[in-house]
Amino acid sequence: MDKLKELKQIRTALKQQIILLDALIAGEKPEPKPRKLREADMAYEMWAAQFLESRGTPYAETVADFVQLANLKNRLKHPVPHGWDQTIANYLQSPLGRYRLSDLCSRYDIFLSGAVDRYGKPEEKEKSQFSNIWGDK
């Protein structure tokens, strides 16, 4: 069954190529297909704005960024993840070697709770003056 479906797709693609070739032979210029405009992605726009503000340069996105962002949104079932502004801020405040949206999306849960130190461990909250007596809770 899958083979038949694959053959039908190949046949359809070949028909489209024949139509284009016939148009080229006749000297006609085939009309380009109109491109669909994507809606603005609020989560990405927030990332790009904070990146520009923090780093002083526009963000150079990659395909992996959008793949990981889509995975995160699908997992959370929300177009803009909960606490996204603060998560981005925590990520950009962390001393990392490079800053990628795909990395932030894959480690969203870590940066949602706070920034990390240079070893990738969550930064410690300020300790109370009595923490050495009672311990941290």
User: How confident is the model over 74-103, as pLDDT tens digits?
Assistant: 999 999 999 999 999 999 999 998 999 999
Q: Kindly report which listed range (98-107, 109-118, 125-134) carries the lowest average pLDDT score.
A: 125-134
pTM of the complete model: 0.64
Quickly list DSSP for 73-120: HHHHTSSS-TTHHHHHHHHHHS--S---HHHHHHTHHHHHH--B-TTS
Task: Say if residue 61's pLDDT is above 90.
Answer: yes
Cα torsion 10, 14, 17, 19 to 10°: value is: -130
**pLDDT tens, position by position, 4-60:** 778 888 888 888 888 878 877 777 766 677 777 667 789 999 999 999 999 999 999
How far lies 22's CA from each of 16, 19, 122, in Å?
A: 10, 5, 63
124: confidence class by pLDDT, cuts 50, 70, 90: confident
CB 83 within 8 A of CB 116: no
Beta bridge partners of 122: 116
DSSP state, residue 10: H
